[in-house]
Amino acid sequence: MRFAVITFPGSNCDHDVFHATKEVLNQPTDMLWYDQKQDLSGYDCIILPGGFSYGDYLRSGAIARFARIMESVINYAEQGGLILGICNGFQILLEADLLPGAMKINDSLKFTCRFSRIRVENNKTPFTICCQEGEVLNIPVAHGEGNYYIDPDGLQSLIKNDQIVVRYEDDRENPNGSVDNIAGICNKEGNVFGLMPHPERCSENILGGPTGDGYKIFSSILQSIKERGELIGHK
């Protein structure tokens, strides 16, 4: 299994994700630079980390979406490769139209950094197969623009296609005002997943979080890659 983590100018969780896949998951992991096209066919999963790419100028993710490597990422997604976007990574996936909807500034207008309880609504995605359906994970959020918006028709389509992967447990747990308490969604095909909470920040017990719940996201990816049995790019 081989993971890749993309570093954009302003990414600040790239090394945390690298640690999670390389040291905690014990899988070979490469850091990829944003400014060149890449052959991604040798990777089993690409991760877009959190941070403030391009200083969040204009809108979070709006400029990173046109970084050279994104052409390769979009191509990789079309081939069915697994892509995980965390926080700013999620925002980039939205701006790149790899996932539907958009992000607004948090309803509170405040940057919110705390643990959040999220419920696994769909445990059949490659990113959640190690979770129980309805299981509540305790994973921290840290963002100022995580107020997910999609219009009513789009929301119905997400629900119908089982694309809402994780929701904040209830209105009180919702840290940003996001529509229908959405914390993370996948595309129709299920190979692209974006979420605001940071699983890499609680992927081992020593990092706090009573259970290391973030590990379940990473171990799900590993498990589903094993079940697939081959690299997407080699098909």
Partner 1 sequence: MNWKVRIKTMLKKSILDPQGQAVAGGLEALGYKNIADVHVGKSMELVVKNIDDEKEVCQQVEEMCRRLLANIVIEDYTYQIEKMEG
Catalytic site includes residue 198: yes
CB of 109 to partner 1, least distance (A): 6
Q: How far is CA 49 from the centre of its chain?
A: 8
Binding map of partner 1 across residues 128-167, x = CB under 8 A, - = no contact: -------------------x-xxx----------------
The β-bridge partners of 132 are: none
CB of 100 to partner 1, least distance (A): 8
44 or 145: CB nearest partner 1: 145
Cα–Cα distance list, 112 to 4, 137, 193 (Å): 28, 18, 22
Catalytic site includes residue 143: no
Asked whether position 187 contacts partner 1 by CB under 8 A, the answer is no
Q: Are 114 and 78 in contact (CB under 8 A)?
A: no
Catalytic site includes residue 200: yes
The residue within the footprint of partner 1, chosen from 39, 71, 107, 180 (CB under 8 A), is 107
Exactly one of 87, 130, 186, 202 is catalytic; name it: 87
CB of 101 to partner 1, least distance (A): 6
> Which helix or strand (DSSP H or E) is residue 82 part of?
strand 82-86
Q: Are 88 and 57 in contact (CB under 8 A)?
A: no
> Which helix or strand (DSSP H or E) is residue 6 part of?
strand 3-7
Phi then psi for residue 79, to 5 deg, are -75, -5
11 or 147: CB nearest partner 1: 147
Site for partner 1, residues 67 to 106, rule: CB under 8 A: 95, 100-102, 104-106
CB of 149 to partner 1, least distance (A): 6
Strand ranges across the sheet with 182-186: 29-33, 3-7, 45-48, 82-86, 192-195, 182-186, 164-168, 112-120, 136-143
Q: Which residues bind partner 1 (CB under 8 A)?
A: 58-59, 62-63, 66, 95, 100-102, 104-109, 147, 149-151, 177
Residues annotated as catalytic are: 87, 198, 200
